[in-house]
Amino acid sequence: MSAAAPVLEAESLRVAYGGNQALDLPRLALGAGELVGVVGANGAGKSTLVNALLGWSRGRPRVSGRVRLDGEDISALPTHERVRRGLLLVPEGGAVFARLTVTENLAASADRATGRAYTEDEVFALFPRLRERLHHTGGQLSGGERQMLAIARALRLGPRALVLDEPSIGLAPRLVVSVLETVRRLVDERGLSVLLVEQNVRAAIEVVDRLVLIERGRVLAEGPVAAMRDDPRIIQAYLGEGAA
């Protein structure tokens, strides 16, 4: 990675729901063409982080800190402005229109596409399965296909940074591998910058460059994946025998 400003950067990001401090993150940086995994158990604060990056929330949390996209402070911008600048989120479960067909779902994104947008052919080359399902509605797709369509929709908008919240959830193990490998290809072949949020540490560790482990809203450990693989905290909690 070069010394250029990170594509996405958070500083002193804190989120509290009432008296409950759900996130306290001194710094998180995503470099250009980097795939960073934020992992942690259920309730660790992963979605809270994702929502704070996007400037979105369920309920009424107190949020403080800075978020920068390509060096520009976007902390005060509403979600749709962050999205327009290329900070794209695929939320848990994948955002697709259940009543629209695959074609229509993709067209809905293309209408708002930027210069960074992937073409339809590029999207189908990444997810050939979607081409076979063109006339199926979002509601008729399997969990894996829905996740692919959600990522495809984000690509059609033209991401600067892509944030994926638990893309593996509810997917058969084989599909988890397939979806995450495609994400890796986007990084390797297209230089996309991706923040991958996952409870599935075992799967995430196979594709990311760096891993950030969070627990109760705080960073417990972080580093290049090669080192994190040998971290006793990761092994004990996630990789060892009898681990989650």
List binders of ligand ADP among 42-61 (CB under 6 A): 42-48, 58-59
Smallest distance, Å, CB 242 to ligand ADP? Answer: 22
Of 2 and 42, which has the nearer Cβ to ligand ADP?
Answer: 42
Angle of the 173-190 helix axis to the 143-157 helix axis, nearest 10? 20
Question: Applying CB under 6 A, which of residues 17, 56, 97, 124 lies at the interface with ligand ADP?
Answer: 17
The reply on whether position 90 binds ligand ADP by CB under 6 A is no
**Piece of 28-36, 44-52, 74-82, 218-226 that binds Mg ion (CB under 5 A):** 44-52
Residue 22: CB minimum distance to ligand ADP, A? 4
CA distance from start to end of the chain: 32
**Percent composition of the chain: helix, strand, coil (DSSP 3-state, to 5):** 35, 25, 35
CB of 94 to ligand ADP, least distance (A): 15
- Encoded amino acid at 206, one letter: E
Helical residues (DSSP H) of the chain, grouped into ranges? 46-54, 79-84, 102-110, 120-126, 128-132, 143-157, 173-190, 201-204, 225-228, 232-234
Residue 226 CB, nearest approach to ligand ADP (Å): 25
The DSSP 8-state label assigned to residue 99 in this structure reads T
For residue 148, give the nearest of 170, 175, 121 by alpha carbon: 175
Per rule CB under 5 A, is residue 48 in the interface with Mg ion? no
The count of residues interacting with ligand ADP (CB under 6 A) is: 12
Q: Is the dihedral of CA 72, 73, 77, 79 positive or negative?
A: positive
Closest separation in Å from C-beta 128 to Mg ion: 29
Q: Residue 113 is which amino acid?
A: A
Residue closer to Mg ion (CB basis): 79 or 101: 79
CA atoms lying within 13 Å on the CB side of residue 29: 13
CB of 171 to Mg ion, least distance (A): 15
Cα 214 to Cα 176: distance, rounded to the nearest angstrom: 21
> Closest approach of Cβ 45 to Mg ion, in Å?
8
47 forms part of the interface with Mg ion (CB under 5 A): yes
Would you say 126 and 203 are in contact if contact means Cβ atoms under 8 Å apart? Answer: no
Alpha helices in 161-206 (DSSP H): 173-190, 201-204
Name the one range near Mg ion by CB under 5 A: 43-51, 83-91, 167-175, 213-221: 43-51
Contact partner at residue 138 from Mg ion, ligand ADP, none, CB < 5 to 8 Å by partner kind: none
Which amino acid belongs to residue 115?
A: G
Amino acid, res. 228:
M
Residue nearest to Mg ion (CB): 47
Which residues bind to ligand ADP, rule: CB under 6 A?
Answer: 17, 22, 40, 42-48, 58-59
